[in-house]
């Protein structure tokens, strides 16, 4: 049976990952999260499998307009006949296909990037401009990621997601994140950005709550 078309997630502007692997590999049934279940994992049982990376660049203009520059990479993809990376057509302003390997064909079609004949271990990196930063009040902004998922049959396989936000030193600070730091959720901060590293199984939407620095 041919694999179905699937959609991949990205920071601030996406649908969700539904890449259907031909096999769950070395995983046990207990490693698969059920529909409606979200598990954070202190250690990943399949560390060489699918992972997602996103880096968002925010500057002073972004705080006024909401427009950010974003690079996303989907690595160690599961095999699939066709994959669609879909972006919010109301927010996205420009999409560029930066790099891909282990993919028969890749192209931009409107607000989507499409991949055909994806091989196990393939990857794709995409650049874009998007009006994805939301003002939530004076000196406050919000950025979403997700939903992020790695679907398998009626459940979800483990995956890693590394979400990085960069800004000029001193421009912003992290008010809080959702999910908050815990086993499987690691937050690192600096004066010029922050990174949220997640290991989980299930369907996840992450949120950055950002603020102007100060008391």
Domains of the chain: 6-20+32-211 (2.60.40)
Backbone angles phi, psi at 31, to 5 degrees: -80, -10
* pLDDT at residue 201, rounded to an integer: 94
Residue 127's contacts (CB-CB under 8 Å, 6 or more residues apart) are 69, 70, 71, 95, 96, 98
Q: Report in angstroms the alpha-carbon separations of 10 from 27, 73, 140, 146.
A: 25, 9, 22, 6
Is the pLDDT at 210 greater than 70? The verdict is yes
Residue 23: how many CB atoms within 10 A of its CB? 10
Model's pTM, two decimal places?
0.86
pLDDT band at 5 (very low <50, low <70, confident <90, very high): very low
pLDDT digits (tens, 9 = 90+) for 47-87: 889 999 999 999 999 999 999 999 999 999 988 899 888 88
């Amino acid at each position: 049976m041919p694999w179905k078309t699937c959609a991949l997630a990205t920071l601030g502007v996406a649908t969700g990952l539904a890449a259907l692997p031909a096999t769950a590999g070395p995983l046990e049934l207990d490693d698969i999260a059920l529909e409606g279940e979200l598990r954070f994992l202190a250690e990943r049982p399949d560390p060489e499998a699918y992972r997602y990376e996103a880096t968002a660049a925010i500057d002073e203009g972004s705080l006024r307009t909401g427009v950010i520059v974003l690079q996303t990479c989907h690595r160690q993809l599961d095999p699939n006949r066709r994959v669609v990376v879909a972006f919010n057509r109301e927010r996205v302003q420009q999409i560029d296909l930066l790099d891909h390997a282990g993919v028969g064909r890749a192209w931009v079609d409107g607000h989507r990037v499409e991949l055909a004949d994806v091989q196990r271990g393939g990857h794709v990196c995409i650049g874009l401009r998007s009006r994805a930063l939301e003002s939530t009040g004076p000196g406050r902004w919000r950025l979403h990621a997700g939903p992020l998922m790695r679907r398998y049959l009626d459940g979800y396989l483990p995956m890693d997601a590394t979400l990085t936000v960069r800004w000029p030193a001193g421009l912003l600070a992290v008010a809080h994140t959702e999910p908050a730091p815990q086993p499987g959720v690691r937050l690192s901060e600096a004066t010029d950005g922050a990174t949220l590293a997640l290991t989980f199984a299930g369907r996840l939407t992450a949120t950055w709550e950002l603020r102007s620095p100060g008391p």
